[in-house]
Amino acid sequence: MGGSDSAEQFDYLIQAQVRQSDLIEYKQLQESLRQAALQSKGFIEQENSYQQLNNGLIECNVRLCFSDVQACLAWIDSPIRRRLLNQAEANFEHQFQSRIYKPSFDLWLTSQLPDPPPIWKMNLLIWLALYPSVMLLSLISVHSLGELPLALNMLISNAITVAITGWLLVPLLARAYGGWLQTQSHRWNLAGSGSILALLMVCYAIFSAPNVVILLHRSAP
Q: Indicate the domain borders of the chain.
A: 1-101, 102-221
Q: What is the pLDDT of residues 17-65, one digit of tens each?
A: 888 888 888 899 899 999 999 999 999 999 999 999 888 888 888 888 8
Given 3.30.70.100, 3.40.50.410, 3.40.1390.40, 3.40.980.10, which CATH number is that of 1-101? 3.30.70.100
The answer to whether 106 and 119 have CB atoms below 8 angstroms apart is yes
Average pLDDT, the chain: 78
Closest CA to 25 of 76, 98, 90, 101: 90
Residue 197's alpha-carbon distances to 14, 22, 108, 202, 203, in angstroms, are 28, 43, 22, 9, 10
- Residue 56 backbone class (left: φ over 0; alpha: ψ -120 to 50; beta: rest): left
Instruction: Please state the pTM of the whole predicted model.
Output: 0.48
Q: What is the pLDDT of residues 126-183, one digit of tens each?
A: 889 888 888 888 777 766 776 677 777 777 877 888 778 877 788 888 888 888 888 8
The CA angle 164-167-168, to the nearest 5 degrees, is: 65
